[in-house]
Structure 1
Amino acid sequence: MMERLDIDQIASRLASLVPPGLADAQKDLRANFRDVLAQGLRRLDLVTREEFEVQSQLLARTRANVDELEKRVAELEALATSRGE
C-alpha cells in the first residue's frame, strides 16, 4: 500500500495546481485530495510489498521443485526405455 507520506505528497501537488486566487481553499483541497486518494487506494485489491515478496519466494521454490520433478521423471522414463519396458 502507498505510504501516507506518498499520499500527502500527491495531495500537496494537486493542491498546488489550484489557481492563486483560491489559495485559501488550498488547505481544504489538500485534505480532501488526501482523503479521496487514500479511500480510492483502500478500495483497490492491492497487496503489501512484504506479501508480494513472500509469494514470489514461494513461487520460486515451487518452480524449483517442479523443475527437479521434471528432471527425475525424464531420468525414470529414460531408464524404463533402456530396460525395454
Structure 2
Amino acid sequence: MLHKVLIDTVGNQAARLLNNDRGLPAPDIEKQLKALLNSALAKLDVVSREEFETQQAVLLRTRERLEALEKRVAELESKP
C-alpha cells in the first residue's frame, strides 16, 4: 500500500509540474512515471509498513514462547 501511495503522489506531482512548465499531457507523463517508480521499487528488497509490523508481532510472540520454553526446560532439568 505504501508503494502505491508513494507512486501516486510522486507521479501526480511530477505530472503537474511538467504539465505546467512544458504544456505536456499530464496523464501520459503520470503513467510513465508511475511505471518507472513501480519498476524501481520492484527491484528493491523492501516491504510495506504493514508487512513489517505483522512480522515484528510474529517475532515478538515467537520470542516470548521461546523464553517460556527455555524457562520450562531449565525447571525440568533442575528437578532431581
Instruction: Place the TM-score, normalised by the shorter chain, in its bin.
Output: 0.5 to 0.7
Deviation for aligned residue 1:43: 1.8
Q: Which amino acid aligns with 1:46?
A: V
Aligned to 2:18: 18
Aligned to 1:31: 31
Q: Unaligned regions of 5+ residues in structure 1, if any?
A: none
Alpha-carbon distance change, 30 to 69 in structure 1, aligned in 2, over 3 angstroms: same
Deviation for aligned residue 1:38: 1.2
Percent of matched pairs sharing the same residue: 33
Give the SS at the match of 1:75: helix
Structural RMSD (CA): 3.0
Q: Unaligned regions of 5+ residues in structure 2, if any?
A: none
- What is the TM-score when the length of structure 2 is the normalising length? 0.62
Deviation for aligned residue 1:52: 5.5
Deviation for aligned residue 1:67: 0.8
- What is the TM-score when the length of structure 1 is the normalising length? 0.60
Number of corresponding residues? 78
